[in-house]
Amino acid sequence: MSASLQKGISVLKEVIDAPIASYFSSCVHCGLCAEACLFYTETGDPKYTPIHKLEPLRRVYQQEYTLLGRLAKMLGLSKPVTDEELEEWKPLVYDSCTLCGRCSMVCPVGNDLVYMVRRLREGMAISGHAPDGLIDASKRAVEIGSPMGVRLPALKVQMGHVQKEIGIEIPLDVAGAEYMVLMSSMEIINFPEYLGAVAKIMKQAGKSWTLCSEAFEATNSGIQIGVSDIAGVLVQRIVDGAEKLKVKTVISPECGHAYTALRWEGPNLIGRPYTFNVLHILEVLDGFRSQGLLKTSGFEDTLLTFHDPCQLVRRGGVLEQPRNLLNLVAKNFVETSDPGKMNWCCGGGGGVSAIEEAQELRFAAFKIKKSQLEETGAKTLVTACANCRIVLEEGLEHYQMDIPVVGLTEMIADHLTEGE
């Protein structure tokens, strides 16, 4: 057994906890999770059945923590997990799982399959079986500070562009501000208009806010590759930044897994509660709306629909807020089929968009989104996650569909009542 495999197995032994033990022992092998997974429905290949993706973890559980499994292992009746097997499982654990959590919703015995995939990735990554794309992203995140290699100067350049365009100063490192705004590197590079939108909205609402030079990146490659130690390091940066500036609330940007990492996994990753609140930008905006701090005028006339980011809506619970906000500025908002918590993933979450080998599979899986969009006949697609946005854009381009994808925060900012 190679040293890395030994470490990986040891990690798997460590991550198998009471929930995982009860999930494996209560699985009734019904296969319902297959129909919930877009990689299965769009390819028809049974290897993409979510519970099957967990086979190595199940075997370690059985061989290490069950009486019969231990006996079988002792007698040589059950084969140990090998490097070859983990390598074979790499496309199942990474390429074809966006951690979207749809399977967890349909499991009749309530098994949280995503929870398990996330834990299996811990062992996969440590034993050296993570995809190169995610390894590189994680390295950049730790070493440079952003998975896409964005450094502070690059952010400052974008801040300058935005300031010039909208004529509002972008605050940096303002201690005591109410809100600390985070960005995803996708937004810094591809969608800087998000920053301008936030600036306009904050100005209208009269709220103090700031960016932090030591913690502007919200995304968390550690969560995607599945290494809690790395995820913890990345969360700690944000915590340090927020506590240094003594802000009341940290705003997670339009990014799904950043929200999961910061809001739901963060305190466990660093081992203590935060001294500040974490909200998604849509929660903040809907809060402003209900307090009357969000004044808009005019409506979008085109037929538009909303893509629910999995981590935000299904896994995160931010379900009503995007609808409230959309209805504030759109007259022709239609839901896709399976909206809200049963939405279909864009196909690129959970790190999949960073895995080059997975691109073809990702386009195959996108067929479900394509048909959903065609059903609605929508002319514009709104979403609230920069990763979803880029994946949707790529998918639409691949299938030659001419539908613009818009971030919800920018759409709201476009309808702000000017000058008060």
Partner 1 sequence: MMDHETPGHETLGERLAQQGISRRTFLKFCTAMATLMALPPGTATAIAEVLIKAKRPSVIWLSFQECTGCTESLTRSHSPTLESLIFDMISLDYHHTLQAASGYGAEKSREDAMQKFFGKYLLVVDGSIPIKDNGIYSTIAGRTNLDLLQEAAKGAAAIIAVGSCAAFGGIPNAKPNPTGAVAVSDIIKDKPIINISGCPPIPVVITGVLAHYLTFGELPELDDLGRPKSFYGETIHDRCYRRPFYDQGKFAKSFDDEGARNGWCLFELGCKGPTTHNACATTKWNGGTSFPIESGHGCLGCSEPHFWDAGSFYSALSMPASPLKLATGAVVAGAAAGIAVSIANRVKKGAAKSAHQKATIADLEK
Between 26 and 65, how does the x/- string for binding to partner 1 read (CB under 8 A)? --------------------------------------xx
Q: Which residues contact 130 (CB under 8 A, 6 or more apart)?
A: 90, 94, 121, 124, 225, 226
Considering the rule CB under 8 A, would residue 14 count as an interface residue with partner 1? yes
Residue 83 in tokens: 């490097």
Considering the rule CB under 8 A, would residue 73 count as an interface residue with partner 1? no
Among 35, 45, 178, 229, the residue binding partner 1 under the rule CB under 8 A is 229
Phi first, then psi: give them for residue 180, nearest 5 degrees: -110, 120
Q: Which residues contact 11 (CB under 8 A, 6 or more apart)?
A: 122, 123, 126, 127
Considering the rule CB under 8 A, would residue 230 count as an interface residue with partner 1? yes
Find the binding residues for partner 1 in span 237-296 (CB under 8 A): none
Residue 87 in tokens: 């390598």
Considering the rule CB under 8 A, would residue 11 count as an interface residue with partner 1? yes
CB atoms within 10 A of CB 154: 15
Among candidate residues 57, 186, 79, the one with its CA nearest the CA of residue 129: 57
261 membership: H or E segment, kind and range = none
Among 225, 247, 262, 365, the residue binding partner 1 under the rule CB under 8 A is 225
Among 227, 378, 405, 408, the residue binding partner 1 under the rule CB under 8 A is 227
Considering the rule CB under 8 A, would residue 90 count as an interface residue with partner 1? no
Distance, in Å, from the CA atom of 321 to the CA atom of 105, rounded to the nearest integer, reads 21
Token pair 């660093």 is at which residue?
270
Stretch that binds partner 1, among 7-15, 39-47, 108-116, 392-400 (CB under 8 A): 7-15
Find the binding residues for partner 1 in span 128-187 (CB under 8 A): 128, 130, 135, 138-139, 142-143
Beta strand residue intervals within 183-312, DSSP E = 209-210, 249-252, 277-280, 304-307
Considering the rule CB under 8 A, would residue 13 count as an interface residue with partner 1? yes
Distance, in Å, from the CA atom of 224 to the CA atom of 102, rounded to the nearest integer, reads 17
Distance, in Å, from the CA atom of 412 to the CA atom of 420, rounded to the nearest integer, reads 17
Query: How many positions of this chain bind partner 1 (CB under 8 A)?
Result: 27
Token pair 């010039």 is at which residue?
164
CB of 358 to partner 1, least distance (A): 18
Stretch that binds partner 1, among 108-116, 210-218, 226-234, 251-259 (CB under 8 A): 226-234
Query: Are the C-beta atoms of residues 211 and 253 closer than 8 Å to each other?
Result: no
CB of 102 to partner 1, least distance (A): 28
Residue 334 in tokens: 């239609």
When the beta carbons of 121 and 280 are compared against partner 1, the nearer one is 121
CB of 229 to partner 1, least distance (A): 4
Q: Which residues contact 344 (CB under 8 A, 6 or more apart)?
A: 38, 102, 338, 368, 369, 372
Considering the rule CB under 8 A, would residue 356 count as an interface residue with partner 1? no
Considering the rule CB under 8 A, would residue 22 count as an interface residue with partner 1? no
CB of 391 to partner 1, least distance (A): 23
- What does the binding site for partner 1 look like in residue numbers (CB under 8 A)? 2, 4, 7, 10-11, 13-14, 16-17, 64-65, 67, 125-128, 130, 135, 138-139, 142-143, 225, 227-230
